[in-house]
Amino acid sequence: MNLDRMKTVPNPETSFFRNLTEKLRSTMPEHEIDEALPLIKEIHLLKKEKNALILGHNYMTPDVYHGVSDFTGDSLALARKAASVDSDIILFNGVHFMAETAAILNPDRLVLISDPKAGCSLAESINAEDVRELKRQFPDIPVVTYVNCSAAVKAETDICCTSANALQVIESLPSSKVIFLPDVYLAQNIQNQTDKEIISWEKGKCMVHEQYNVDDLNAARNQFDDLLIIAHPECPPQVIESADFSGSTSEMSSYIAKNHAKNLLLLTECGMADNLRSEFQDRHFISTCHTCPHMKRIHLKGIRDSLLYTQYEVKVPEEIRIKARKAVDRMLTLV
């Protein structure tokens, strides 16, 4: 995936739509492609008309991911991109906390999300008062929050991280103890890689990744030869231990490119495998089809309407934004 290439506004007669159609055929039936293409064309025209930029997370459906997103990637890549864009409007194809991060970094731009109900089980597991209470219990211990949290939680944080840089962020802190929020499984998996003591938040789990178990892995290995199993670090520790590799969604893609296994099982939201099929057409992606209902609230009609009517602005109160930005900037400066 090319995170640094912005797609130009395509003319319907150019090769863009021919190439797009070929990509979509790897995961979508023909009639769905026919329904999607007019909406994709309309969205491109609206982007040009309104000077809008679309950021798309790796879990988007293929028509959204390949068809209308100007930049694609994991949370870290998109946070970096959100800090450097030059457009009047940013439309975030992802869940609400991601759009909030873009708003934190772009106070002078209009940030939209096509469905404000696209939430996150991790973000919903903790609030700002929870963090303040932890800081009262464990004074003078730095707080690291995974970006999968609200702006209000980020505002109570010393530094943010993503799954791609969590270990690096934790190791950069001088304290021998760290409060890590909110994903308890990610905290446990990092604890296995560091000598620092990690104080975790037991209530935080991803509703997708917590569904995976070792039985899934064993069943797949019994069924498929030459199988490479790649797990997201939000999965339970026993799953990570049984997998061949663990990494963020961007790290997954890079690892696949370096490995020549024929069969691939990705233990993450199934949109990831859908979007990689067109890139690795010689591989066989085995789908567990665990989907995130929040991510799947983002679709072409909603994106079109959000741009057309300039609706569903994501706002962060200025006092919270300023505090939260310090935590996000510290992460971006470090990495």
**Domain membership of residue 55 as a residue range:** 15-120+295-309
Q: What is the DSSP string of 170-211?
A: HHHSS-SEEEEESBHHHHHHHHTT-SSEEE--TTB--TTGGG
Q: Are residues 25 and 113 in the same domain?
A: yes
Q: Is residue 328 part of a domain?
A: no
Q: Is residue 335 part of a domain?
A: no
Q: Using CA atoms, how far apart are residues 266 and 229, in angstroms rounded to an integer?
A: 6
Tell me if residue 145 falls in helix, strand or coil: strand
Q: Are residues 19 and 115 in the same domain?
A: yes
Q: Are residues 131 and 109 in the same domain?
A: no
| Domain limit, last residue, from 151, 180, 205 | 205
Q: Is 73 left (phi over 0), alpha (psi -120 to 50) or beta?
A: left
| Domain limit, last residue, from 158, 186, 205 | 205
Q: Are residues 99 and 19 in the same domain?
A: yes
Q: Using CA atoms, how far apart are residues 107 and 304, in angstroms rounded to an integer?
A: 23
Q: Are residues 54 and 106 in the same domain?
A: yes
Q: Is residue 315 part of a domain?
A: no
The two tokens of residue 83 are: 């800090």
The domain spanning residue 252 has which CATH number? 3.40.50.10800
Cβ atoms < 10 Å from Cβ of 250: 21
Q: Are residues 138 and 191 in the same domain?
A: yes
Order the strands of the 110-112 sheet from edge to edge. 71-73, 52-57, 89-93, 110-112
Q: Are residues 25 and 109 in the same domain?
A: yes
The two tokens of residue 267 are: 């233990």
Q: Are residues 148 and 220 in the same domain?
A: no
Are residues 152 and 318 in contact, defined by beta-carbon separation less than 8 angstroms? no
Q: Is residue 268 part of a domain?
A: yes
- Stretches in the chain below the pLDDT threshold 50: 1-7
Q: Is residue 83 part of a domain?
A: yes
Q: Considering the entire predicted model, what is its pTM?
A: 0.90
pLDDT of residue 13: 52
Q: Are residues 19 and 114 in the same domain?
A: yes
Q: Is residue 76 part of a domain?
A: yes
pLDDT of residue 7: 44
Q: Using CA atoms, how far apart are residues 62 and 130, in angstroms rounded to an integer?
A: 37
Q: Is residue 8 part of a domain?
A: no
CA atoms within 13 A on the CB side of 45: 10
For helices 15-24 and 30-50, angle between their N-to-C axes, nearest 10 degrees = 140
Q: Is residue 324 part of a domain?
A: no
Q: Are residues 132 and 193 in the same domain?
A: yes
Number of domains the chain is built from: 3
CA-based nearest residue to 3, from 267, 261, 249: 249
